[in-house]
Structure 1
Amino acid sequence: MKQSDIFRDNADNCLQLAERAEGKPAYRRYSRMADAWTALATEQDWLDGEIPPVTIHIPQKQDR
C-alpha cells in the first residue's frame, strides 16, 4: 500500500469520526484533521512523481 493511500485512509477515518462527533468543536477538529491528511496524501503523490507539479501560466505579451 502506498503511503498516500494510508494518508487517505486516515482522512476517511477522521471524516467518520466527524460524522459521529458530539458538538461543533469536535466536528470541526476532525474535519480539519481530514483536510490535513488529504493534503499530505496529495503532497506524497507529488513527491512520488505520480502527479505533476503545479504549472503557472504566464500570459505572453502580444505584438500589435
Structure 2
Amino acid sequence: MKQSDLFRENAENCLQLAERAEGRPAFRRYRRMARAWTALANEQDWLDGEVSPLPARTREFG
C-alpha cells in the first residue's frame, strides 16, 4: 500500500471520529486532523511524482 493511501485512511478515521465527537471543539479538532492527513497524502503523491507540483487548491473537508 502506498504511503499516501495510509495517510488518506488516517484522514477517513478522523472524519469518523468527528462524527462521533461529543462537543464542537472535539468535532473541529478531528476535522482539522483530517485536513492535515489529506494534505500529507497530497504532498506524498507529489513527492512520489504522481501529481503535478502545481497546487490544486481544493478543500476536501470543509
TM-score, scaled to structure 1: 0.84
Query: Where in structure 1 do 4 or more consecutive aligned residues deviate above 2 Å?
Result: none
RMSD (CA atoms): 1.0
TM-score, scaled to structure 2: 0.87
* Distance (Å, rounded) in 2 between the aligned partners of 1:28 and 1:53: 29
Q: How many residues align?
A: 55
What residue is the counterpart of 1:32 in the other structure? 32
Structure 2: unaligned runs, 5 residues or longer = 56-62
Structure 1: unaligned runs, 5 residues or longer = 56-64
What residue is the counterpart of 2:3 in the other structure? 3
Q: Report sequence identity in percent.
A: 78
What residue is the counterpart of 1:62 in the other structure? none
* Distance (Å, rounded) in 2 between the aligned partners of 1:41 and 1:30: 16
User: Greater CA radius of gyration, 1 or 2?
Assistant: 1
